[in-house]
Structure 1
């Protein structure tokens, strides 16, 4: 595979991208019935992977390898922690930059699959979706994969997420996690009061509240676990049901015992089959999913 080193767009958008080997033989997939899907070699599918809060690229790269092994283009990006927690107003700008990046790379005519992880990835996707509504040149999103997301905003969930990111000595971890949780909850409270009094609209940093009403109708695939201690599986199932009611083609893969964002490491073969099957379905559908519930009526 040809590797593109970390790049900077507009000064602060660092991403990793892999392009397939120019000599990759796409016909070789025809010998493997589990992974057969037809691609246009002129406009190869692009998989945009959005990492969880605090995700290191070496971990996200394990997921992108699923698609790279099939000769697809991958882009990996994780929003900075400060943008996800206390500078959330900057997420809007990141969503717009991701759309700009796809256009600058001339990927507007390529089918694009978004593969996101946890609420960090869902929050970023929320702003990507908002940016797509305003772009003059459509980007051909054909499907979205939700891994361990989305979940309701909870203080307990926030504390556990921060604790996992900080790591280290248990006493230092607990004290710092508690301080940061209190600080972020104070910001949440301020946002809640300000927005509710001014407009009464859904909070901009609430992925479930915003994404359940997303107007784009491309297929969505949910991968989650009943053993997830960070985001309850009932949150995801409730969200998936809401999307079904809006006419979205929804599929789900639920595990019994895998931890948060570790379904792939626990069930590699089943996970891989699931995402490739979803990708195959999205590429085979002839419908243009770059339309909204409003235009469908």
Structure 2
């Protein structure tokens, strides 16, 4: 039996699910069950994100689902306004609100929309005293990150606008967005990056020290596969733990839909490996304390 809680107000709109004690004990056997934070892609509906969270709920994990609003992903970030930074702060505070801040924390991040928010989460975990004690064990990244791809960004925005919007308004919005992104994020980026680095460069320059697993596809029409491959190679050079898998034929954030069993297995195996690493590190720490 799962227990669910939803919070919807002017500040946050998220969904948190707690597993029953028996399922947690079966899978984690005395250790604290992980809290999996799923950060949805731009325009993602919660019913879609819930299909991914069920992978972890079945494993006895607590899950928190959140998708950043479209305006913060497509407008605030494009203009260099760091609205997602305060969103990241509120999201991490949810862990304290539900008293799960001492549990292992795992992220499942989707597309650039989720990765933009994840970038600020990483920064807070590194700089904010309150969050330094959180035990982040790993992150799985689906269809991200991408950089400087105006065509892909336009495809993503067009998909999120949906069919209800009038053709004229759609054309105006896409044209304005294309000009803005092209000017601020490509033409002027050598200058604007000193004021506001994009998510791709910010995380690549200072990757966190927990392991990452990047799931992508060379058939992705929104995020170029070479962007993901270059990113993984760059963070590895900096000593970060990063692995990747190319699904080859699946579309953007469509890997789970096209390969459900393989995708779910990769998620479960990576989470289990991250938990094992933490248990090993804690055992070593206990032995060091005993030896002193």
Normalising by the residue count of structure 2, what TM-score does the alignment of the two structures yield? 0.85
After superposition, give the CA deviation of every residue in 1:250-293 in whole Å (9 maximum; x if it has no partner): 121211211110100111111111111111110011348xxxxx
Rounded to whole Å, the distance in 2 between the matches of 1:93 and 1:184 is: 23
Question: Larger deviation: 110-119 or 96-105?
Answer: 96-105
1:279 corresponds to which residue? 271
Rounded to whole Å, the distance in 2 between the matches of 1:39 and 1:126 is: 32
Is 1:123–2:122 an aligned residue pair?
A: no
The answer to whether the Cα contact below 8 Å between 1:95 and 1:130 also exists between their aligned partners in 2 is: no
The alpha-carbon distance between structure 1 residues 202 and 192, as it changes in their structure 2 partners (threshold 3 A), is farther
Shift of 1:144: 0.8
The answer to whether the Cα contact below 8 Å between 1:203 and 1:209 also exists between their aligned partners in 2 is: no
1:13 corresponds to which residue? 12
The alpha-carbon distance between structure 1 residues 24 and 190, as it changes in their structure 2 partners (threshold 3 A), is closer
Rounded to whole Å, the distance in 1 between the matches of 2:191 and 2:221 is: 33
Rounded to whole Å, the distance in 2 between the matches of 1:84 and 1:21 is: 35
Task: Return 5+ residue gaps in structure 1 as ranges.
Answer: 30-37, 289-297
| 1:85-100 aligned within 5 A | 85-88=74-77, 89=81, 90-100=83-93
The answer to whether the Cα contact below 8 Å between 1:158 and 1:181 also exists between their aligned partners in 2 is: no
The alpha-carbon distance between structure 1 residues 78 and 40, as it changes in their structure 2 partners (threshold 3 A), is farther
Shift of 1:100: 1.8
Shift of 1:182: 2.9
| 1:197-208 aligned within 5 A | 197=191, 201=194, 203-204=196-197, 206-208=198-200
SS in structure 1 of the partner of residue 16 of structure 2: strand
2:254 corresponds to which residue? 262
SS in structure 2 of the partner of residue 86 of structure 1: helix
Rounded to whole Å, the distance in 2 between the matches of 1:212 and 1:278 is: 21
Is 1:243–2:235 an aligned residue pair?
A: yes
Shift of 1:192: 7.2
1:105 corresponds to which residue? 98
Q: 1:157 aligns with which of 152, 155, 160?
A: 152
1:167 corresponds to which residue? 162
Over the residues paired in the alignment, what is the CA RMSD in angstroms?
Answer: 2.4
Question: Larger deviation: 53-62 or 87-96?
Answer: 87-96
The answer to whether the Cα contact below 8 Å between 2:143 and 2:217 also exists between their aligned partners in 1 is: yes
The answer to whether the Cα contact below 8 Å between 2:95 and 2:101 also exists between their aligned partners in 1 is: yes
After superposition, give the CA deviation of every residue in 1:99-149 in whole Å (9 maximum; x if it has no partner): 222233222221111000000000010111112223213221110111000
Task: Return 5+ residue gaps in structure 2 as ranges.
Answer: 283-292
1:3 corresponds to which residue? 3
The alpha-carbon distance between structure 1 residues 250 and 192, as it changes in their structure 2 partners (threshold 3 A), is closer
SS in structure 1 of the partner of residue 252 of structure 2: coil
The answer to whether the Cα contact below 8 Å between 1:155 and 1:181 also exists between their aligned partners in 2 is: no
1:22 corresponds to which residue? 21
After superposition, give the CA deviation of every residue in 1:63-84 in whole Å (9 maximum; x if it has no partner): 0000000111000000000111
Count of matched residue pairs: 273
1:50 corresponds to which residue? 39
Rounded to whole Å, the distance in 2 between the matches of 1:52 and 1:261 is: 8
The alpha-carbon distance between structure 1 residues 197 and 208, as it changes in their structure 2 partners (threshold 3 A), is closer
SS in structure 1 of the partner of residue 22 of structure 2: coil
Rounded to whole Å, the distance in 2 between the matches of 1:196 and 1:71 is: 46
Shift of 1:40: 4.1
The alpha-carbon distance between structure 1 residues 236 and 220, as it changes in their structure 2 partners (threshold 3 A), is same
Shift of 1:4: 2.3
Return the structure number with greater helix share.
Answer: 2
Normalising by the residue count of structure 1, what TM-score does the alignment of the two structures yield? 0.84
